[in-house]
Amino acid sequence: MEIERISLTIEKDLLKELDAFIRASHYSSRSEAIRDALREFLAERKMRAALSGEQLGVLVMIYDHDQTGLSEKLLDIQHEAGEILSTSIHWHLDRRNCLEAMVVRGEAEKIKNLVENLEALRGVRQVKLIPIKK
Ligand code: NI
């Protein structure tokens, strides 16, 4: 397998967390852990891209409560999503982080659009779509 060397920029806190994880796990290097994380990222994106037709799912996201203007933008996006979004719960995880879980149902394209709009927001740390088989 051909290997290529790349360099990347990363927040110090995130790198610290990665290193702590590596020390506590079976990973022997940052590269190995990052390669696995990247594979998982791509697999999830592929799974999402393949969704079609009517879908039911749960969308979970974690975001930074302190990010200026983010709460308003989230509300706008949720209002625009209209009928595909039903119940949502909000949990103030700690001083800084909010977790929001939403039940989504409807056309796959609309759900994917919603996920992408949420991911694009500055201050949104994680968005996970879990499709549910009916
Ligand atoms: Ni909160």
Tokens for 26, please give them: 């079976």
Could you tell me the distance, in angstroms and rounded to a whole number, from the CA of residue 66 to the centre of ligand 1?
A: 10
For CA atoms 82, 85, 89, 93, the dihedral sign is: negative
**Span from the CA of 93 to the centroid of ligand 1 (angstroms):** 7
Residue 134 has pLDDT above 80, yes or no: no
C-alpha 69/C-alpha 80 separation (Å) is: 17
- What order do you get walking across the sheet with 124-132 strand by strand? 85-92, 97-107, 54-64, 124-132
Determine the average pLDDT of the residues in 27-41: 94
Give distance in angstroms: CA of 130 to centre of ligand 1.
Answer: 21
For residue 133, name the pLDDT band (cuts at 50, 70, 90).
confident
Mean pLDDT of 68-97: 93
CA distance 106 to 85: 8
Spacing, Cα 91 to ligand 1 middle (Å)? 6
Q: What's the CA-to-centroid distance between 86 and ligand 1, angstroms? A: 19
Spacing, Cα 92 to ligand 1 middle (Å): 4
Distance from C-alpha of 108 to C-alpha of 116, rounded to nearest angstrom: 12
Work out the mean pLDDT of the chain and round it to a whole number: 94
88 Cα–ligand 1 center, Å: 12
Residue 1, pLDDT > 90, answer: no
